[in-house]
Amino acid sequence: MSDRQKTGVTRRSFLKWTSAASAMAALPLSRQLHAATPAPAQATSAAAPAAKGQWKPVACWHNCGGRCVNKALVADGVVVRQKTDDVVADSPDFPQQRGCLRGRSQRKQVFGADRLKYPMKRKNWAPGGGDKTLRGRDQWVRISWDEALDIVASETKRITGQYGNESLWVTGGNGTDFQSVFSAAGGFTGDWGTTSWGAWFETPAHLGLLEGFYTFGTNDRFDMRNSQLIVMWGANPAWSSPGSPTYNYYQAKKAGARFISIDPSYTATAELMDADWYPINPGTDHALALGIMHALLEMDSPENPLIDWEFLRRCTVGFDESNMPAGADPKKNFKDYLLGTYTGKPTTPEWAADICGISASEIRSLARQIGGTQRVALLTGWAPARIHNGEGWVQAFSTLGFMTGHMGRPGRMTGACCHYAAGNNGTRLVMAGANGLPAVKNPVTLKINHNELNRALLEKKFRQRGVGDVDANIQMIFHPFNATLQTRANIMQGIEAYRSGVEFIATAAYVPHTCAKYSDVILPVTTEWEREGTILNPSNREVIIAAVNVTQPLYEAKSDQWIAKELGKRLGVNVDEIFPISEKQQFFNKLNGATIIAEDGVTKAPLFTITQADIDEWQVTGTPQEGRITLNEFLTKGKYQVERTPDDNYGYIAYEDFIRDPAANPRPTPSGKFEIYCETLVEKAKECGWTELPPIAEYIPSASGYEASFKDFSKKEKGDYPFQVYNPHYLRRSHSTLDNVPWLRE
């Protein structure tokens, strides 16, 4: 390929050439799956069939919270059009998995002008860093792959040799190909945090979700239609769960649900659902929840019940002094906190109004609507929990659900409703198999919290969870698959840190995102369109989405795995142990191991029919099996979607068993119940080592929050930093991705 680039062939003619060749490849499967290695003799005679073009399922792979069918029409070697799901007719019960504007513009990214074309180093880089102050504003010099890999490997060896493996920080969670290699080479310091899911991930101990991963707590899409009132509390699926989820909310509206939106912005979802909008000051949701709960107590009566006392008694501990968990001080109950019995500071609607900006009468109205409606869905996104002391908000929001009993029953749910589970929570019905690569354990256990990334670089200290402050001496940063300089707190300080201490920074990327720009060496990676193909996670629970190869790697880009392997070899790691199988075999394994939950709602069965002929054609190892559809059908249609009906066995109501019979199905909490008063939460917070939290959802104003924007909050006189900034996940981007695509900007 580099030869062609030297001859200055344009991208269009280059693509035309590679893909015309692919259309001629002999085997039907490989023709469909992969742009074959160019074979000029064949390319000439390929013109006729290629001109008609072939629709291929292609990846839309970003962290957008969903997955949709995306197809590219490859004609004459060029992707000339894209389309989305037209596999079956659309209907509310069996909705198409239609892509949003980003997926449909994907070719403008894959073939975009911003692609990184070849490895580069910073002009004023030298071993040890060179002139580090020029990071982000230096010139770039094109280098060969060999030179790039040699630099990264020798700097890794030099730095880990001199300062220890702890001095290497590889961003992102564990499990990427690079992390496997660096783990095998002695390990690295990682990072963790709650910038995405807020406190829903780490600390919903009050729900009995101690190892909480992706806590949602809401019901499935058919059940949403049973709700009479749907509260979208900091949730805007039309923007942050684009694709099909908002369609599910719309079915609930058609079935008669009324909508409320509590959000600083009047959102596109609020508009579509004709929701009543309650504009709230950012980051003050905890105060509003407490105000509503106080109002419930004020107005609840036997004639006009707003509180589900039976639910509180049966399913929770900690609400009042009569149902405190063993050993707890009865005076620390939640009800007395709301009433201010011992503090003298009741959380009245007037108190809350002052903070959250929603009037006391509106707060009482919200209490009447939420408490006084039979079947309510309390749905929040992750945004309101992406704050200081987010745990308190998560606990307060849950407690509102406990007080009103809107949980575990048809049309009633309280939880997070966003990302891939927006409008449709529950067990996955179809699932990809594992790729078959071994997990490689990182021998270094240090992990920097996202709040302290810059502190670790500048002050050379961070708080290790469960340990306390530890010394840090980060001298090398490797960014594999994220843009943390841009997507974590305090970018200006981050830039300062990148321009001072660290000796070496490298990034693998396909566009020059922020981390790449501030690096010393950039390694250009392929996009999914240039790779072997894959099954895309995470889609909604009912569908599984395919992506196949569309083109040979563009320019000099290489897959992450290829780069990781080459690096591994230079680091003296046994890469055959880490990557014992080809990328094609990894794709095949995902298909071979894919499962579906059968109509009984329990039994797992293979999803795809795979024949020995398939295995031979793919030139992989595998086991023939009987499934629901053939490989070919899946890889042509681009999806498998479970056909559902309202009365099937796939319905999901969160916490249903527990709420029906708490004694027989206890929550994994010390009390076996939902814990309004939760000592585990106190312990978890202590383990992290920042703010100490009370066992009940007491209000703690956020550092740099709304109250802090005033010189003197009681006098309402604004201070030096009078504004608050918040940002939604807006439609044209996925975090740092796609925002550069001209179509999307238009």
Ligand X SMILES: Nc1nc2c(c(=O)[nH]1)N[C@H]1C(S)=C(S)[C@@H](COP(=O)(O)OP(=O)(O)OC[C@H]3O[C@@H](n4cnc5c(=O)[nH]c(N)nc54)[C@H](O)[C@@H]3O)O[C@H]1N2
CA angle at residue 384 from 378 to 390, to 5 degrees?
105
**CA 525, 527, 533, 535: dihedral to nearest 10 degrees?**
110
For residues 4 and 8, give the distance between their C-alpha atoms in angstroms, rounded to a whole number: 7
Partner that binds at residue 195, options ligand X, ligand SF4, Mo ion, none, CB closer than 5 to 8 Å by kind: ligand X
Q: Is 294 an interacting residue with respect to ligand SF4 (CB under 6 A)?
A: no
Beta-carbon neighbour count of residue 277 at 10 Å?
Answer: 16
Binding mask 214-243 for ligand SF4 (x = CB under 6 A): ----------------------------xx
* Helical segments of 469-555, H only: 484-487, 491-498, 514-517
Determine the residue type at 373: T
For residue 547, give the nearest of 56, 67, 25 by alpha carbon: 56
Matching residue, tokens 């009433």: 339
Block residue for tokens 């056909």: 643
Judged by DSSP in three states, 629 sits in: strand
Quick check: 740 binds Mo ion (CB under 5 A)? no
How many residues bind to ligand SF4 according to rule CB under 6 A? Answer: 13
Burial of residue 742 (number of CB atoms within 10 Å: 0-12, 13-18, 19+)? exposed
Chain positions 319 to 358 lying near ligand SF4, rule: CB under 6 A, are none
* Contact flag: residue 200 with ligand X (CB under 6 A): no
| Beta-carbon count within 10 A of 85 CB | 23
Report if residue 550 touches ligand SF4, rule: CB under 6 A: no
Contact between 233 and ligand X (CB under 6 A)? yes
What is the nearest approach in angstroms of ligand X to the Cβ of residue 687? 23
245: Cβ–Cβ under 8 A, 6 or more apart, which residues? 66, 237, 422, 423, 424, 540
Q: Which stretch binds Mo ion (CB under 5 A): 27-35, 86-94, 195-203, 701-709?
A: 195-203
Instruction: Write down the least CB distance from residue 565 to ligand X, Å.
Output: 14
Question: Could you say whether residue 228 binds Mo ion (CB under 5 A)?
Answer: no
H or E element: which one contains 585?
helix 583-592
| 71 contacts ligand SF4 (rule: CB under 6 A) | no
CB burial of residue 7 (10 Å; 0-12, 13-18, 19+): exposed
For residue 486, state whether it binds Mo ion (rule: CB under 5 A). no
**Is residue 508 within the footprint of ligand X (CB under 6 A)?**
yes
| Residues 300/308, Cβ–Cβ less than 8 Å | no
Nearer CB in complex with ligand SF4: 66/512: 66
Which range, of 66-74, 296-304, 461-469, 691-699, touches ligand SF4 by CB under 6 A? Answer: 66-74
Q: How far apart are CA 494 and CA 500, in angstroms?
A: 10
Binding string, residues 83-112; x marks residues near ligand SF4 by CB under 6 A: ----------------xx-xx---------
Closest-CA residue to 402 (of 157, 649, 673):
673
Instruction: Choose the contact partner of 413 out of Mo ion, ligand SF4, ligand X, none; CB within 5 to 8 A by kind.
Output: none
Q: Does 60 bind ligand SF4 (CB under 6 A)?
A: yes
Closest-by-Cβ residue to ligand SF4 is 103
Please give the DSSP secondary-structure letter assigned to residue 385: G
Tell me if 103 contacts ligand X by CB under 6 A. no
145 binds, among Mo ion, ligand SF4, ligand X, none (CB under 5 to 8 A by kind): none
Residue 492 makes contact with ligand X by CB under 6 A: no
Query: Does 67 engage in binding with ligand SF4 (CB under 6 A)?
Result: yes
Annotate 128-158 with b (16+ C-beta within 10 A) or e (fewer). ebbebeebeebebeebebeebbebbbebbeb
Torsion-angle region of 540 (φ positive above 0: left; ψ -120 to 50: alpha; else: beta)? beta
User: Which one, 520 or 675, has the nearer CB to ligand X?
Assistant: 520
Is residue 193 involved in binding ligand X (CB under 6 A)?
Answer: no
The 727-746 site mask, x for binding ligand X (CB under 6 A), equals xxxxx-xxxxx---------
What DSSP element (H or E) covers 508? Answer: strand 504-509
Task: Tell me how far, at minimum, the Cβ of 315 lies from ligand X, in Å.
Answer: 26
Residue in 124, 154, 196, 724 binding Mo ion, rule: CB under 5 A: 196
* Closer residue to Mo ion in complex, CB, 201/351: 201
- Tokens coding 405: 């009993």
Name which of 547, 200, 228 is nearest 383 in CA terms: 200
Backbone φ and ψ of 70, nearest 5°: -140, 130
E-strand ranges in 362-441 read 376-380, 413-416, 430-431
285 binding partner (options ligand X, Mo ion, ligand SF4, none; Cβ < 5 to 8 Å by kind): ligand X
The entry of ligand SF4, Mo ion, ligand X, none near residue 99 (CB within 5 to 8 angstroms by kind) is: ligand SF4
Q: Binding partner of residue 103 among ligand SF4, ligand X, Mo ion, none, CB under 5 to 8 Å per kind? A: ligand SF4
C-alpha–C-alpha distance, residues 182 and 439, integer Å: 12
What is the three-state SS of 256-269? Answer: CCEEEEECCCCCHH
In the chain, % helix, strand, coil (3-state, to 5) comes to 35, 15, 45
User: Minimal distance in Å, beta carbon 644 to ligand SF4?
Assistant: 20
Q: Footprint of ligand X on residues 375-434 (CB under 6 A)? A: 381-384, 418-419
DSSP symbol at 702: P
Q: Which residue is nearest to ligand X (CB)?
A: 381
Which CB sits closer to ligand X, 373 or 734?
734
Span from 109-117, 174-182, 190-198, 275-283 in contact with Mo ion (CB under 5 A): 190-198
Q: Which is nearer to ligand SF4, 57 or 705 (CB)?
A: 57
Work out whether 214 is an interface residue with ligand X (CB under 6 A). no
Q: Which of 14, 216, 222, 239 binds ligand X (CB under 6 A)?
A: 239
Helix axis angle, 360-372 to 349-356, nearest 10°? 110
Q: How far is the CB of 99 from ligand X (least distance, A)?
A: 12
Which 8-state DSSP code applies to residue 420? Answer: G
* Stretch in the footprint of ligand SF4 (CB under 6 A) among 56-64, 290-298, 337-345, 466-474: 56-64
Which residues contact ligand SF4 (rule: CB under 6 A)?
A: 60, 62, 64, 66-68, 99-100, 102-103, 242-243, 734
Which residues contact ligand X (rule: CB under 6 A)?
A: 63-65, 195-196, 233-236, 239-242, 262-265, 267, 280, 282-283, 285, 381-384, 418-419, 480-484, 487, 508-509, 511, 513, 525, 560, 726-731, 733-737
